Structure 1
Amino acid sequence: MRGFRLWLLLLVLAGPLGGCGMPAELMSAGAIAGVVGTVAVFGRSPADLVVSLVSGKDCSIVRLDEGKSYCKPVEPPPRQPEFCTRTLGVVDCWSDPATLADRPTQVADGPTTLSPAQEADRTARWP
């Protein structure tokens, strides 16, 4: 999918180069269609694609329109989940399970940290 997006980006950016002898109205209509198409497909304009590619961040004019910052901030790592145990009829959660005298069974059974692949995906450069 990533390779397809890069080829589509190259076609959109290289499209105006083949326009020798085209009427100005047709070229401007093609440029507008290219911008609208990239915003619809990628969620960013061609200029945003170049800025994102160079900076490695996810930057978009659409984010500005939504009242957010131009570039998406780096996502912080997820916080450590609470340690929750089941008692009679309710669930009690503890922020520090080391303070518990006997190590009871936790209600949620799953990983409490990100795997190396998940962490690499979270901190990867754009695109």
Structure 2
Amino acid sequence: MQRILPLLLLLLPGCEPLAVGAAVTAGSVAVIGRTPMDAVVSAATGRDCSVVRLDRGQDYCRAEEAPPAPPPFCTRSLGRVDCWTAPLPGRRGVADGPTVLTEAQEANRTRRWPGLW
């Protein structure tokens, strides 16, 4: 019995790495919304993958987003604003702004996760 007791004491620190790993996992889920393994998978695939998404009943990796729909074309009318899906020829819209994303915006929208390369 005296020989076994020191051996049993050597096994006690074996639980310590589990506590550290659990703390790292809990911290990373709270901060970046994914586990360390999710971060590795996301970096390798370039997609946003998270076990948190599985918990919500969604796919593990986020699907690629479709380009945004063009904004409606709106013109002033008598006391209100009317909007159409196609621009009217010869009319100026209420909100004259860009109707498509710039190259920088499109690059930001389609970049790989975590944006390291």
TM range (shorter): 0.7 to 0.9
Partners in 2 of 1:97 and 1:105 — Cα distance? 9
For 1:26-41, list aligned pairs within 5 A: 26-41=16-31
Q: State whether structure 2 residue 49 is matched by structure 1 residue 62.
A: no
Identify which of 107, 114, 123 aligns with 2:94: 107
Partner of 2:62: 72
Partners in 1 of 2:87 and 2:25 — Cα distance? 54
- TM-score, normalised relative to structure 1: 0.76
The residue identity in structure 2 corresponding to 1:80 is P
Give % identity.
Answer: 54
Deviation string 1:28-71 (CA, Å, 9 cap, x unpaired) is: 11111111111111110111111111111000000011111110
User: Structure 1 residue runs of 4+, over 4 Å off?
Assistant: none
Partners in 2 of 1:75 and 1:87 — Cα distance? 35
Aligned CA-pair RMSD: 1.7
Q: State whether structure 2 residue 38 is matched by structure 1 residue 45.
A: no
Partner of 2:6: none
Partners in 2 of 1:89 and 1:23 — Cα distance? 76
Look up the SS of the partner of 1:85 in the other structure.
strand
Partners in 2 of 1:97 and 1:28 — Cα distance? 61
Choose 1 or 2 for highest CA Rg.
2
The residue identity in structure 1 corresponding to 2:40 is V
Number of corresponding residues = 104
The residue identity in structure 2 corresponding to 1:37 is G
| Structure 2: gaps spanning 5 or more residues | 1-11
| Structure 1: gaps spanning 5 or more residues | 1-21
Partners in 1 of 2:87 and 2:92 — Cα distance? 11
Partners in 1 of 2:96 and 2:103 — Cα distance? 19
- TM-score, normalised relative to structure 2: 0.82
Partners in 2 of 1:108 and 1:31 — Cα distance? 52
